[in-house]
Structures are given as structure tokens and as C-alpha cells.
Amino acid sequence: KQEVTQIPAALSVPEGENLVLNCSFTDSAIYNLQWFRQDPGKGLTSLLLIQSSQREQTSGRLNASLDKSSGRSTLYIAASQPGDSATYLCAVPPNAGGTSYGKLTFGQGTILTVHP
Amino acid sequence: DTAVSQTPKYLVTQMGNDKSIKCEQNLGHDTMYWYKQDSKKFLKIMFSYNNKELIINETVPNRFSPKSPDKAHLNLHINSLELGDSAVYFCASSSRLVSSYEQYFGPGTRLTVT
């Protein structure tokens, strides 16, 4: 059974810092890895999706890396801003064919606070 | 233009009642999902439909019955509501061709059972 762990559970940084969020998974047979952001009382916003054959993806100040063999992914946020404050979640589906690709297993999230 | 929408946003009801939540997506996706986020913020998949066919059915009480009238809509009906059903329910959608299975989520429906 896939288990996804995110460290740290919470992080508070001053504005402008570069930071790294960690995600680990126990079963390396994944189809892809997706990072989401959730603002309080809101839904999830997809940030980045890394296919299992890829090593990293970038979008603006965000860079996500994937090391499938070691079961780890990191989300790097450059020059953090107060608007980045949110809960960040990673999720993986199994690479078991067909309908399994949508069966996401989520980590418990990292609560990020960026203070001015 | 809302990509994945859910109604209602909030739902407060008493134990024993029956209620429905509706979801619609305008992304052209062919797969839709229901997730439950509990009080500890843990997200877990409940159901998934692909082109109106149920393809994922996790260990969920049979008081929960999803229904997909077409590939743009997915509803969730809950019978005989219990206190433990209180949670935020999220709908999501994806497509192999359109989004490489990247999932897009709705804003959630906060269900409170009293």
C-alpha cells in the first residue's frame, strides 16, 4: 500500500527566502507525481506535474524534482512571498495501467507561512 | 470561467437526512472523481467515473452513491447521514489526452452533520 509523507509538517520563513518542501513515497511504481497548493477554505490548485520518466519540472519560481528510485520529490520555491502562504500537497498515482492512473494517494501536506 | 464547479458550497443537515452534492466540469475531461478531506485535512479518494462508467470504488459505506449522467457531471448522493460524514468533499477531473491525467479540483463542499 502506497504511503506518502511530507516533511516538514509546517514551515515559517521570512519573505525572500528560498525554501524546499519534501515529499517521500514508499512504492516507486508511480505513474507521475503532482504538487498542489491549497489555500484555507479553498480547493486544490495544481502547481506542477512530473511524469515518472522526468527528473524535474519548472513553473515560474517553482521547481519540482523527482527521484523515483529513492522515492523522493522536492518542491523548491525561490524568493518566497507572503502570497505563497498555503498548504502544499504532493500526490502520486500507481503505475498499474488504465484506470489506476487517477487514483491519487496524498501526503498530509506542509503548511507554509511566509511573513513580511 | 469556472473549470470545476460544485454545489452547494456549504451544506448543514441533521443526522439521518439524505443529501446530494453536484459537480460539473467544462474542461472537456472524461474522468471525474470524488475525494473526502477529513477534519485532519487528509485527502482520500472515494470514487471515479470514466465516460459515465464507475472505475474506482474505494472502501466507502454504501450509503454513498455516485452517479454520472454524462462525462461532464458527477453527483454524490448520501443516505442516512451520520456525524462522521462531516467533511469537505472535493470533486476533480482529468483526461489522458487533455491533461495527461493531471487532476483539476473544484472548490469543495463543506458538509456538516448535526
Average pLDDT of the segment spanning B37-61: 88
- Mean per-residue pLDDT, B74-88: 96
CA distance A98 to A114: 40
Which residues in chain A are contacts of B31 at CB distance < 8 A?
Answer: 102
Q: Which residues of chain A have pLDDT under 50?
A: none
Partner residue opposite B94 with nearest CB, options A42, A44, A102: A102
Chain segment B32-47, per-residue pLDDT in tens: 999 999 988 889 999 9
Higher pLDDT, A31 or B100: A31
End-to-end CA distance of chain A: 41
Residue B99 has pLDDT above 80, yes or no: no
Chain A: residue nearest B5 by CA?
A43
Tell which phi-psi region holds residue A60, choosing left (phi > 0), alpha (psi between -120 and 50) or beta: left
Query: Which of the residues B41, B53, B57 would you substitute to probe the A interface, choosing the one with the greatest number of A C-beta atoms within 10 Å?
Result: B41
Half-sphere exposure of A66 (CA within 13 A, CB side): 24
B100 pLDDT above the threshold of 90: no
Number of other residues whose CB lies within 10 A of the CB of residue A115: 10
Q: Which residues contact A103 (CB under 8 A, 6 or more apart)?
A: A93, A94, B45, B48, B56
Grid cell in block for residue B109: 463542499
Closest B-chain CA to A101? B101
As a whole number, mean pLDDT of residues B71-97 equals 94
A106/B42 Cβ within 8 A: yes
Share of chain B above pLDDT 70, in %: 96
Q: How far, CA to CA in Å, does B18 sit from each of A5, B80, B112?
A: 35, 6, 13
Give the closest-approach CA distance of A98 to chain B in angstroms.
Answer: 10
Q: Which of B90, B100, B101 sits opposite A44 (nearest CB)?
A: B90
State the pLDDT at residue B1: 63
| pLDDT attached to residue A95 | 81
pLDDT computed for residue B57 by the predictor? 86
pLDDT of residue B27: 93
Provide the pLDDT for residue A86.
Answer: 97
User: For residue B98, what pLDDT is reported?
Assistant: 67
Residues of chain A contacting B, Cβ within 8 Å: 31-32, 34, 36, 42-46, 49, 51, 87, 89, 91, 93, 99, 101-104, 106, 108-109
User: DSSP assignment, residue B97?
Assistant: H
pLDDT at B12: 97
